[in-house]
Structure 1
Amino acid sequence: MRTVQLIKQKNDGWKYLSHKIVLKKPLVLVFGDRYELENDNIYEELRQKFPDGHIVFASSCGDITTYFVTDNSVVATAIEFEKTKYEIKTCNILKSNLDSFITGKNLINQLTPEGLKHVLVISEGSFINGSELTKGMNNATANKTLITGGLCGDGDRFEKTLASYNEKPKPGEIVAIGFYGDTFDISFAIHGGWSPFGPERVVTKSESNILYELDGQPALDLYKKYLGEKSKELPSAALLYPLNVKTEEEQHSFVRTIINIEEENNAMVLAGHIPENSTVQLMMTNIDNIANASELAAKQALKNLKTKPQLAILVSCIGRKLVLDQRVEEEIEEVVAVLGEDVTLTGFYSYGEIAPFNTEINCQLHNQTMTITLMSE
């Protein structure tokens, strides 16, 4: 495996973060600010640099490399595999008018099933129900194939997200990259570092990923009461206080971030499903807990890899970035300290992370986690 990494800052040209070498038919992962990806020239510029490359775009809430976390930028990481084969398929939820479950199932069913070892999913993050998307993908693989990835972001604007494969980035797009090969080695890990606090409340009215009532009271009114003055900063303020969700059906509790509010319905739109009769509790964290969780994720992923890692794809939640603020690079530094500086790091801050719970195989939608996917061959 060989890699090349470039960065383009706002109002600036492309600069290499690695040695400039020529790669054959590389997979090019491009993470960047939505405004920068809307530049009419962005696709053609990268096509000129990688004429035979397979270019996948995703808008982000911040771009991750071994060296720093950047905003208002675009980072391109090109990967040439020595023996690993890969296949890329797409769908668009805005054009298909299908629900998120069917969308996920149909997307994975496009991939050749024989020898499929891993799927990396880059999903739009504005219109998708991420938890239903993962259920559909699990259904297509019968819970036997590792799937990781994330939902695209748009900073704290929550206006729209973009993704694409070999074309200019666009809304509604979902990309699946399937990996094949006996020498391909893959591992993953997730950790959060958030702690629940305050009373538990029962979800008395919800529909899919929209939360209407808690304990028979309008959910948004109750949430604003907890936030106090910070409620004026909704929906971005909600990223600092996600919900811990517990159900009788799920073995694990899971975290849900509030990505939008509906003032007219006194409701909150979450990144994934929020079942009725589940119990929810507010969560909070601090910088040390987030950094420690990233270190734990790196150690777990490294432990599960059979060979020395060559590439690390990090997907971390925008809520973590807001908590870290000026110290955002600390959680990346923890990962580098574990994996070593010779491992190529790429990734982005997201609206949701896709991975199984540790020790499991069926993927889930997570919020407020650091998700690490390690690859080597």
Structure 2
Amino acid sequence: MIEATTVSIVHDDAREAGRLAALELLDRLRRSPDLVILFVPAGLDGKQVLEGLWSRLPAGTQLAGCSAAGEINSEEVLSGSITAMGLCSQDVEFRTFKVEGVGADSLEAGRALGAQVRAFDPALLLLFPDGLQTNATQLLQGVLSILGQGFPVIGGLAAASDDTTSTIQFHDREALSGAAVGIGLRGRVELVTRARSGWTPAGTPRTCTRVENGTTVLELDGRPALGLYEEYLGERAREMPGVSIEFPLGVISGSARGADAMREDQIVVCRTIRGVDRERGALFLGAEVAEGAQVRMMRATKEDVINASSAAGGLACDAMPDPSLALFFNCAARKQVLGWRYRQDVQALFRRLGPAVPKIGFFTYGEICPVDGLSLYHEVTFTVALLRA
């Protein structure tokens, strides 16, 4: 059994916000938490938040989390809050992990983190890497190379604010940057995950015939990638590059060929377009695609995006109607696309779960969630994880 509660504090003083969050967690739990999961607004002074928290939290508590582009608690979606979940359990053990310098070699950093986690032998890993320097696909690949390809990893990449050039990762009493932190859960933990973007494929499959460094797509079907992409956008190409957030690429399952590649359910993950190189005709993606991979252009309305999160939540609840807690990792790009409607992305699921289920999450720079038993790195995707112990 896991006992959990979530608190959110909005305060101009980061240290005082941390102190108040700790006091409220202790009051609600009526005991010291074994673990605190922490999400703070990107751009806030993370060290000050920790000073406030640790002025009241006992030494035996563990803590992990990161900076966010928006916070989710048990009641609503917020922006600018210190949001923390305190957890206690006699049946499940928690352990926090960290690896620094993930930007230098994300694959090796993932292996190093995986080796730490393997020694603990958990049932599940929550992972919060830096969202600016990390090659998320390689980091995850490194972790899974140690823990096994079927090991469940959930989480999201730390976000930055418009006026900062770094993100924060919290590990116990440390506020780090350029790191990846994790939480291992050991014991009998049941997990259900679902991931949906709401974007649907349009047009025919295209082959990435020339890719540089995994994330720079130079050619699609032997043609300059940017030119082909702008042909698809039509008149909206004049809004480039800003409009590209609305039109990601969908990566088709490697086993799909011919007519199967045209099926909507063959899209495995989405990849955002972060920028362009007009001189080279290239698209800069938010995460890797392999040379030779098939992709399709994607599109969605605001209703499609909101309905997708509702569908993901419904499927998760059908599979686990009585979870101990719920975790949400939702992409900051969805928040940007939805505008003022971004809070609606979780409303249907909140109604389905009810107020008694403790909840926490944040708006990320990329999501990590298993699909069909394989942990994957996603973008522009709503992911939910329900846990029961």
The two structures have a TM-score, normalised by structure 1, of 0.87
- Aligned CA RMSD, in angstroms, stands at 2.8
Q: Does 1:285 align with 2:291?
A: no
Q: 1:224 to 1:159 in 2, by over 3 A?
A: farther
Instruction: After TM superposition, give the deviation of residue 44 of structure 1 in Å.
Output: 0.4
Deviation string 1:49-105 (CA, Å, 9 cap, x unpaired) is: 32332121311221112322222332122212232101221102357x32x222222
Q: Does 1:116 align with 2:130?
A: no
Q: 1:51 to 1:154 in 2, by over 3 A?
A: same
Q: 1:219 to 1:74 in 2, by over 3 A?
A: farther
2:52 & 2:196 partners in 1: Cα distance? 36
Instruction: After TM superposition, give the deviation of residue 123 of structure 1 in Å.
Output: 1.2
2:52 aligns with: 45
Q: Which moved more, 1:119-128 or 1:209-218?
A: 209-218
Q: 1:156 to 1:315 in 2, by over 3 A?
A: farther
List alignment gaps of at least 5 residues for structure 1: none
Instruction: After TM superposition, give the deviation of residue 47 of structure 1 in Å.
Output: 1.2
Task: Give the letter for the 2:12 counterpart.
Answer: N
Instruction: After TM superposition, give the deviation of residue 247 of structure 1 in Å.
Output: 5.3
* 8 Å Cα contact 1:354-1:365 kept in structure 2: yes
Q: 1:230 to 1:141 in 2, by over 3 A?
A: same
1:365 aligns with: 377
Q: 1:149 to 1:40 in 2, by over 3 A?
A: closer
Aligned length: 369
Matches within 5 A, 1:327-346: 327-346=341-360
List alignment gaps of at least 5 residues for structure 2: 257-265
Task: Give the letter for the 1:245 counterpart.
Answer: V
2:252 & 2:149 partners in 1: Cα distance? 22
2:317 & 2:278 partners in 1: Cα distance? 45
* 8 Å Cα contact 1:119-1:146 kept in structure 2: yes
1:374 aligns with: 386
Q: 1:121 to 1:81 in 2, by over 3 A?
A: same
Q: Secondary structure at 1:116's aligned position in 2?
A: coil
Matches within 5 A, 1:148-159: 148-154=154-160, 159=165
Matches within 5 A, 1:198-347: 198-207=203-212, 208-223=214-229, 226=233, 234=241, 237-246=243-252, 248-249=254-255, 253-261=268-276, 266-305=281-320, 308-347=322-361
Instruction: After TM superposition, give the deviation of residue 374 of structure 1 in Å.
Output: 1.3
Task: Give the letter for the 1:9 counterpart.
Answer: V
Instruction: After TM superposition, give the deviation of residue 115 of structure 1 in Å.
Output: 4.7
Report percent identity of matched pairs.
24
Higher helix share: 2
Deviation string 1:213-266 (CA, Å, 9 cap, x unpaired) is: 3344443455456375676563x5322211112253577532111234456655
The two structures have a TM-score, normalised by structure 2, of 0.84
Could you tell me which of 163, 170, 193 is aligned with 2:198?
193
1:221 & 1:262 partners in 2: Cα distance? 11
Q: Which moved more, 1:159-168 or 1:224-233?
A: 224-233
Task: Give the letter for the 1:57 counterpart.
Answer: G
